Chains A and B, each alone.
Chain A
């Protein structure tokens, strides 16, 4: 293993994050506060409690997941797309690093950034509502696995994308709708029975449910299903990336 190489990629990517720290930090704090104002105060005052949990607290796991997923994807996709766009990828391709090391460096950095933002949102939310964490270990595990798997997905998108437009396409058209329809702001038990069944095909439901369970001990679907879903998604992304490097698809002619 070329650990110096992994660390070099990781540091270089993190440097981009630190350069835009204010933006990286302020943006999630501001958007979380806005969600609390709109959902927590305006709507929350009418709903009050969902499954015995104060509505303001109920939406926190969904809010964190929304940011961790979208940030994981956008950081990793941008991280690998930018060298392709600039042409600096020549160095990566001619360096003594293999695909495991490249993925570790880029995905590791992207996952770190999205986890950082997740923690910032968690801290901001704690200022607005009482936030018990029933299973801290599980909460960390879900957050790590979600940021890693969505960063892996972002890496695939970054390699696939041929323009900045395409880079935005999947997060915008797929991930955000799935998160909004995945029970981020409601419990799926609040839906009519037919939509409860349909929503079970949305993989994000399992992630939000499992993450919410780690806070409140209550879940829409069994926690084991959530763990299987996130692990399965991670393995799928890893398999696609292994194929990409083996075939050289869109990176090495």
Chain B
């Protein structure tokens, strides 16, 4: 697959000396969904703004569909749709006119059938004559998505699209994203909801302090960095972890009715056999045993904390 978005050595420094992006390099393939994770102030929105033309990069080059975002900004921007983080809408205009305006602004002739289709998919059709100021927060966010889709972009940026919205909209949006992906649209998503990235992304990028820490296939990332957790249920409660089990770094769970053990699936030895033997020797009786994979959230928190320790 060719890269539809290519970011090479992009640096963004402000006049006060703050370096929001430090030589970012990233290639995004056509049709993939990339989730960009990072703590607040990591540079996610700056990166998106720089690609879309809202801010200019200090150094480096960005191409979208092979078009340079500065030298050939019209061709590049024609391919891009942006759903911003903030709900920025003209409050006195109607939903329909607001969405039509976006299509016109991107140089496309009026297409009522397409706008109707977009508004219906986003459950906005019934509200098409309503003023933006009459809509709820969730509805306004749908309008932002409709505006971004109105000119049929090939690359869609969703900057925290589900921040503060209800479960229903989040599911609607995931469905729209799945449809767009099926139609070949490339999606770059920033989010604080890691389960969102886990649910819909193909690849995960982690950004911190203006640097991309890693970009990895979601499954590979989870397999590589995934810790598993073994929870041993006991027949009776204990007040503390027996001294003979100290080497396993166990913690007590469920009011002392279970022992929790973390292990690395990629390690040479998981230590499970030895642990179970040691538990039996300590005189504890097992009621049940279960394991679970650590979530992307746990991986993310671990990764960022690790980097912070290094820094």
Residue pair B88, A2 in contact (C-beta under 8 Å): no
Nearest-neighbor residue (CB-CB) of A3 within chain B? B107
Contact of B56 among A5, A83, A97, A248 (CB under 8 A): A248
Residues of A within 8 A of B90 (CB): 12, 82-83, 86, 88
Residue pair A5, B104 in contact (C-beta under 8 Å): yes
Contact of A94 among B14, B52, B75, B104 (CB under 8 A): B52
Residue pair A12, B88 in contact (C-beta under 8 Å): no
B102 part of interface (Cβ distance < 8 Å)? yes
A91 part of interface (Cβ distance < 8 Å)? yes
Residue pair A252, B56 in contact (C-beta under 8 Å): yes
B60 part of interface (Cβ distance < 8 Å)? no
Residue pair B105, A90 in contact (C-beta under 8 Å): no
Residues of B within 8 A of A253 (CB): 14, 55-56
Residue pair A5, B102 in contact (C-beta under 8 Å): no
Nearest-neighbor residue (CB-CB) of A2 within chain B? B107
Contact of B88 among A5, A7, A9, A87 (CB under 8 A): A87
Residue pair A93, B107 in contact (C-beta under 8 Å): no
Min CB distance A114 to B, Å, is 21
A236 part of interface (Cβ distance < 8 Å)? no
Tell me whether A15 and B56 are in contact in the complex, defined as CB-CB below 8 angstroms, given that A5-B104, A96-B78 are known contacts.
no
Min CB distance B232 to A, Å, is 53
Q: In the bound complex, how far is the Cα of B99 from the Cα of A12, in angstroms?
A: 11
Residue pair B109, A12 in contact (C-beta under 8 Å): no
Contact of B109 among A4, A15, A91 (CB under 8 A): A4
Tell me whether A95 and B105 are in contact in the complex, defined as CB-CB below 8 angstroms, given that A87-B86, A90-B82 are known contacts.
yes
Q: Interface range on chain B: under 10, 10 to 19, 20 to 34, or 35 or more?
A: 20 to 34
Interface size on A, residues (CB 8 A): 28
A202-253 interface (Cβ within 8 A of B): 248, 252-253
A42 part of interface (Cβ distance < 8 Å)? no
Residue pair B84, A5 in contact (C-beta under 8 Å): no
Residue pair A96, B92 in contact (C-beta under 8 Å): no
A11 part of interface (Cβ distance < 8 Å)? yes
Nearest-neighbor residue (CB-CB) of A8 within chain B? B104
- Chain B, 228-253, contact with A by CB distance < 8 Å: what is the 0/1 string? 00000000000000000000000000
A16 part of interface (Cβ distance < 8 Å)? yes
- Chain A, 72-101, contact with B by CB distance < 8 Å: what is the 0/1 string? 000000000011001110111111111000
Residue pair B147, A91 in contact (C-beta under 8 Å): yes
Nearest-neighbor residue (CB-CB) of B102 within chain A? A91
Residue pair B82, A96 in contact (C-beta under 8 Å): no
Residue pair A94, B54 in contact (C-beta under 8 Å): yes
B44-62 interface (Cβ within 8 A of A): 52-56
Tell me whether A5 and B106 are in contact in the complex, defined as CB-CB below 8 angstroms, given that A95-B77, A96-B73 are known contacts.
yes
Residues of A within 8 A of B78 (CB): 96
Residue pair B93, A15 in contact (C-beta under 8 Å): yes
Residues of B within 8 A of A83 (CB): 90
Q: In the bound complex, how far is the Cα of B100 from the Cα of A19, in angstroms?
A: 17
Q: In the bound complex, how far is the Cα of B52 from the Cα of A92, in angstroms?
A: 11
Contact of A252 among B54, B102, B108 (CB under 8 A): B54
Nearest-neighbor residue (CB-CB) of A93 within chain B? B54
Q: In the bound complex, how far is the Cα of B145 from the Cα of A141, in angstroms?
A: 44
Tell me whether A91 and B14 are in contact in the complex, defined as CB-CB below 8 angstroms, given that A86-B88, A96-B74, A96-B78 are known contacts.
no
Nearest-neighbor residue (CB-CB) of B100 within chain A? A8
Residues of B within 8 A of A7 (CB): 104
B114 part of interface (Cβ distance < 8 Å)? no
Q: In the bound complex, how far is the Cα of B90 from the Cα of A95, in angstroms?
A: 17
Residue pair A16, B147 in contact (C-beta under 8 Å): no
Residue pair B93, A4 in contact (C-beta under 8 Å): no
A-B contact pairs, 7 of them (CB 8 A): A5-B105, A8-B100, A15-B97, A19-B92, A91-B102, A93-B53, A252-B54
User: Which 3 A-B pairs have CB atoms at the shortest separation, nearest pair first?
Assistant: A8-B104, A87-B88, A94-B52
By a beta-carbon cutoff of 8 Å, the part of chain A in contact with chain B is 2, 4-5, 7-9, 11-12, 15-16, 19, 82-83, 86-88, 90-98, 248, 252-253
By a beta-carbon cutoff of 8 Å, the part of chain B in contact with chain A is 14, 52-56, 73-75, 77-78, 80, 82, 84, 86, 88-93, 97, 100-109, 147
Q: Apart from A87-B86, A253-B14, what are 20 other A-B pairs with CB-CB below 8 Å?
A: A2-B74, A2-B107, A4-B106, A5-B107, A8-B102, A11-B101, A16-B92, A86-B88, A88-B89, A90-B52, A90-B84, A91-B102, A93-B54, A94-B77, A95-B77, A95-B106, A96-B106, A96-B107, A248-B56, A253-B55
